[in-house]
Amino acid sequence: MKLYGRRTKEVAERIIEAFEQPQRLPKALAPIFIHRKDDVPCRKWSWHNQLIVALSATVDARGIKQWNKAGRKVKKGCHAIWILAPCIKKVKEEDDKDRERQIVYGFRSVPVFAAEDTEGDPLPEGDDRYDSWVKELPLTEVAEAWDINVGTFSHQGANPLGYYRYASTGNQAVMLGVENLATWAHELVHAADHRLTNLKGEKWHKEIVAELGGAILLECLGMSHDADLGGAFSYIEQYARDAKVDTVRACIQVLDRVCNCVKLILDTAESTATAAEPSELSATA
pLDDT digits 0-9 by tens, 54-84: 888 888 999 999 999 999 999 999 999 999 9
| Cβ burial, residue 89 (10 Å; 0-12/13-18/19+) | exposed
Q: Is the pLDDT of residue 283 over 60?
A: no
Q: What's the confidence (pLDDT) of residue 97?
A: 66
Q: Is the pLDDT of residue 110 over 90?
A: yes
Phi, psi of 85 (to 5 degrees): -110, 140
- CA-CA distance, 192 to 194, in Å (whole number)? 5
User: Does 94 fall in a domain?
Assistant: no
Q: What's the confidence (pLDDT) of residue 179?
A: 95
Q: What's the confidence (pLDDT) of residue 69?
A: 94
Q: What's the confidence (pLDDT) of residue 92?
A: 81
Type of residue numbered 43? R
For the stretch 84-109, pLDDT in tens is: 988 988 888 777 667 788 888 888 99
For the stretch 22-46, pLDDT in tens is: 999 999 999 999 888 888 888 888 8
Q: What's the confidence (pLDDT) of residue 2?
A: 46
Q: Give the highest mean pLDDT range of 93-97, 122-126, 205-209, 270-274.
A: 205-209
Q: How would you classify residue 147: left for phi > 0, otherwise alpha for psi between -120 and 50, otherwise beta?
A: left
- CB of 66 within 8 A of CB of 45? no
User: Does 284 fall in a domain?
Assistant: no
Give the confidence band of 282 by pLDDT, cuts at 50, 70, 90: very low
User: Does 119 fall in a domain?
Assistant: no
- CA-CA distance, 212 to 160, in Å (whole number)? 18
pTM: 0.82
- CB of 18 within 8 A of CB of 26? no
For the stretch 140-198, pLDDT in tens is: 999 999 999 999 988 877 778 999 999 888 899 999 999 999 999 999 999 999 999 99
User: Does 224 fall in a domain?
Assistant: yes
- CB of 143 within 8 A of CB of 188? yes
- pLDDT above 70 covers what percent of the chain? 93
Q: What's the confidence (pLDDT) of residue 6?
A: 58
Q: What's the confidence (pLDDT) of residue 157?
A: 72
Give the confidence band of 4 by pLDDT, cuts at 50, 70, 90: very low
User: Does 161 fall in a domain?
Assistant: yes
- CA-CA distance, 141 to 218, in Å (whole number)? 15
| Cβ burial, residue 85 (10 Å; 0-12/13-18/19+) | middle
Q: In whole angstroms, what separates CA 85 from the centre of its chain?
A: 23
User: Does 100 fall in a domain?
Assistant: no
Query: Mean of the per-residue pLDDT values for the chain?
Result: 90
Instruction: Give exposure, 17-30, as e/b (b: 16+ Cβ within 10 Å).
Output: ebbeeeeebeeebe
User: Does 19 fall in a domain?
Assistant: yes
DSSP 178: B
- CB of 190 within 8 A of CB of 199? yes
Q: What's the confidence (pLDDT) of residue 91?
A: 85
- Over residues 114-140, mean pLDDT: 90
- CB of 179 within 8 A of CB of 32? yes
User: Does 61 fall in a domain?
Assistant: no
Instruction: Provide the residue range defining the domain that includes 176.
Output: 5-37+128-276
Count of domains in the chain?
1
